Amino acid sequence: MAKILELENVSKWFPIKKYLGRKSYLKAVDEVSFDVNRGETFGLVGESGCGKTTLGRLIVRLYQPTSGKARYLDKENHVDLFSMNEKAFQDYRRKIQMIFQDPYSSLNPRLTVLQIITEGLGYSNLSSSEKKDLASQVMQSVGLRPEYLFRYPHEFSGGQRQRIGIARALIMRPELLICDEPVSALDVSVQAQVINLLISLKEQYDLTYIFIAHDLAVVKYISDRIAVMYLGKLVELSDSRELFSHPLHPYTQALIASVPVADPKVRKLTKLQPIQGEITSPIDPPQACLFASRCPYAMKKCHESVPELKSAEGSHQVACFLYH
């Protein structure tokens, strides 16, 4: 399968000033590498603060990386998104769009829906009527009426606002769409509608998704492959079915075990073991496995060196000394 994106040792460290002028770094993303195949849905999961949203914003260059490469494999050429200047990146900004988590803060309340959706077309040669026609088309694609174009964001519900955010991304005709927890702020019934909408739009517009979430049930439903992040590092990467049927990393095992079970009979048989210990600080973390302080299988080696992400079984990759 053809690749559309390659991340190689991508890092984002935020400088923090401490006492006596000493500088420290919060390592939000640290040496992350993975590939995304064209046409797939690549899930990125982890608890809050693990760096998954920061990684998504790095890809669309809302943040500047500390180090690493992000190669976009266009049909014509391959380019490093991080090394391009802003003017050169404009062509690729159209191809890589993002849907944000909060539908309330991601829309400008002073603009109409038409202005919000067509804002990205400002530098095109399209006339006002052509922009309106395109906006009407994407509004219908996301399940909203074209006459809503002249309303303001405060007149819509949370689910409708998120659909407007999706329409804003779609009007640019992107190839890669980064979905940053697009349903986490919505009611459960609305979540299902938006997820099914994203699945249908993927086929309709021939899209590739990077789906960022902390809800494992949602990620399992929509993703082809899943990567698990913990404190800025990738700890496991596998096919979706393989990950849930045979998780290798102790952190992934704990995450899957914590997913709520609807059947009370099955819930009684499930022995949920909460993760013990304190979370390692992401500020100047030690050169060791960051999960070692909470891992029930931690060995001496885990506290002394950093495990690399390596193949364990076929395409299943894990960063854990238990399998190396």
The domains located in the chain, with CATH, are: 3-318 (3.40.50.300)
**What would the mean pLDDT of 256-269 be, rounded to a whole number?**
68
**What would the mean pLDDT of 126-142 be, rounded to a whole number?**
94
**What would the mean pLDDT of 62-75 be, rounded to a whole number?**
92
Per DSSP, the three-state class of 186 is coil
Rounded to an integer, what distance in angstroms lies between the CA atom of residue 58 and that of residue 64? 6
**What would the mean pLDDT of 265-273 be, rounded to a whole number?**
57
Q: Which two tokens stand for residue 91?
A: 């062509």
Q: Would you give the distance in Å from CA 243 to the centre of its chain? A: 17
* Between residues 104 and 151, the one the model is more confident about: 151
pLDDT at residue 266 in the model: 58
Rounded to an integer, what distance in angstroms lies between the CA atom of residue 271 and that of residue 248? 18
Angle between helices 188-205 and 128-141 (to 10 degrees): 120
What count of Cα atoms within 13 Å lies in the side-chain half-sphere of residue 235?
A: 29
Angle between helices 188-205 and 158-170 (to 10 degrees): 10
pLDDT at residue 51 in the model: 93
Model confidence at 240: pLDDT above 80: yes
Model confidence at 71: pLDDT above 80: yes
Q: Which two tokens stand for residue 239?
A: 């096919």
Per DSSP, the three-state class of 100 is coil
Q: Report the range of poorest mean pLDDT among 99-113, 121-135, 251-265.
A: 251-265
Residue entry with tokens 């809503």: 148
pLDDT at residue 256 in the model: 87
pLDDT at residue 270 in the model: 57
Rounded to an integer, what distance in angstroms lies between the CA atom of residue 305 and that of residue 302? 6
**What would the mean pLDDT of 265-277 be, rounded to a whole number?**
62
Model confidence at 262: pLDDT above 60: yes
Write the pLDDT tens digit of every residue in 157-204: 999 999 999 999 999 999 999 999 998 888 888 999 999 999 999 999
Q: Which two tokens stand for residue 138?
A: 């994407």
Q: Report the range of poorest mean pLDDT among 13-27, 59-73, 145-159, 196-210.
A: 13-27
pLDDT at residue 269 in the model: 52
Q: Would you give the distance in Å from CA 182 to the centre of its chain? A: 9
Rounded to an integer, what distance in angstroms lies between the CA atom of residue 54 and that of residue 113? 27
The count of other CB atoms within 10 Å of the CB of residue 249 is 25
What count of Cα atoms within 13 Å lies in the side-chain half-sphere of residue 92?
A: 25
> 128 phi and psi, to 5 degrees?
-60, -40
Sign of CA dihedral 74, 76, 79, 85: negative
Where helices occur in 32-73 by DSSP H, the ranges are 52-59
Question: What share of the chain has pLDDT > 90, as a percent?
Answer: 68
pLDDT at residue 201 in the model: 96
pLDDT at residue 268 in the model: 55
Rounded to an integer, what distance in angstroms lies between the CA atom of residue 214 and that of residue 309? 21
pLDDT at residue 77 in the model: 78
* CA triple 56-62-67, angle to 5 deg: 75
pLDDT at residue 93 in the model: 87
Question: What share of the chain has pLDDT > 70, as a percent?
Answer: 94
Q: Residue 16: beta bridge partners? A: 24
If you average pLDDT over every residue of the chain, what do you get? 90
Model confidence, pTM: 0.92
Quickly state the pLDDT bin for 224 (edges 50, 70, 90): very high
Q: Which two tokens stand for residue 4?
A: 């559309």
Model confidence at 274: pLDDT above 70: no
Quickly state the pLDDT bin for 263 (edges 50, 70, 90): low
Write the pLDDT tens digit of every residue in 2-59: 999 999 999 999 998 776 667 889 999 999 999 999 999 999 999 888 999 999 999 9
Model confidence at 206: pLDDT above 60: yes
Quickly state the pLDDT bin for 265 (edges 50, 70, 90): low
Rounded to an integer, what distance in angstroms lies between the CA atom of residue 36 and that of residue 210? 8
Rounded to an integer, what distance in angstroms lies between the CA atom of residue 7 and that of residue 13? 16
- Which residues 6+ apart lie within 8 Å of 296 measured at CB? 250, 273, 276
pLDDT at residue 20 in the model: 66
Q: Which two tokens stand for residue 20?
A: 């006596």
